[in-house]
Amino acid sequence: MLDHREELAALRRALRCAGLTPDQVDELADHVEADARRRVDSGCGEAQALREARAALGPVEALRAEFQKANPSMDLVSKLAGLALSALVVALAFGATGDLWALVHAPALLLVGGLVAGGLVASFGPVRVVRALRAGLTGRPTDDAEVHAGVVARGYRLAWASGVLGTILGAIQMLAQLADPAGLGPGLATCTLSLLYGALIAEVGFANLRAWLERAAVPLG
């Protein structure tokens, strides 16, 4: 029996951190253990057998890349499904108590979306922005991880700032209509929904992208 359980446990942790599924982790850990047993049977010491078996498996990054290559769309599909689920929950939660269309307000959407997109393009250029978004969605390790992390961090801040800016502009719009209470609606909608859009873009969009990029860049092994 192999007694060096902590080495195998460390390998399992590294594989889990790499984003491999529990089944993949189990299978690869079993592989290392079987290889180590064979080396022990050939006269190798247990610790050295485990080290050699672990080394034969190769770097965890390479394993993850191979699994992703074998199934490139799954990761992206699960991420998009997660985002869609978030949107659905918001829609259902609001739809149950109010008019769902009240959540859609084109001026606020244009204001927040436009400011975020414009700010990102002004800071990084369109190519880097598109590459960063693609890197986050696909989860593939890239050579430009630092720039991509910068794009996503800036996007997160811009989303919140745009939401707050929309709120201020909506408030100004409302103040201009104080004499006519019937005209307060558009300003109030811009005021509240800008903040909602900014929060959603920041916390559902960019916060997830940041997590996915970090996972893709985790130093492993």
Partner 1 sequence: MISKKLVAASSEPLVLAILSHGESYGYAILQRVRAMSGGRLAWNEGMLYPVLHRLERAGLIEARWEDGGGRKRKYYRLAAAGERALASEQEEWEVVDATLRALWEGAGA
Under 8 Å between Cβ of 181 and 216? no
> d(Cα 199, Cα 210) in Å, to the nearest integer?
15
Distance of CA 163 to the CA centre of its chain: 21
Beta carbon of residue 174, minimum distance to partner 1 (angstroms, whole number): 55
> d(Cα 79, Cα 215) in Å, to the nearest integer?
13
Query: Between 28 and 202, whose beta carbon lies closer to partner 1?
Result: 28
Beta carbon of residue 30, minimum distance to partner 1 (angstroms, whole number): 5
Beta carbon of residue 69, minimum distance to partner 1 (angstroms, whole number): 7
**What are the angstrom distances between the C-alpha of 203 and each of 15, 51, 113, 153?**
27, 42, 14, 11
Query: Between 29 and 161, whose beta carbon lies closer to partner 1?
Result: 29
In DSSP notation, 34-51 reads HHHHHHHHTT--HHHHHH
Q: Is 30 exposed, middle or buried (0-12, 13-18, 19+ CB in 10 A)?
A: exposed
Beta carbon of residue 64, minimum distance to partner 1 (angstroms, whole number): 9
Query: Between 37 and 210, whose beta carbon lies closer to partner 1?
Result: 37
Binding site for partner 1 (CB under 8 A): 23-24, 26-31, 33-35, 56-58, 62-63, 66-67, 69-71
Beta carbon of residue 79, minimum distance to partner 1 (angstroms, whole number): 19
Beta carbon of residue 61, minimum distance to partner 1 (angstroms, whole number): 10
Under 8 Å between Cβ of 142 and 215? no
Tracing tokens 């050939």 back to the chain, one arrives at 42
CB-hemisphere CA count at 13 Å for 65? 11
Query: Between 63 and 216, whose beta carbon lies closer to partner 1?
Result: 63
Query: Between 22 and 82, whose beta carbon lies closer to partner 1?
Result: 22
Query: Between 40 and 207, whose beta carbon lies closer to partner 1?
Result: 40
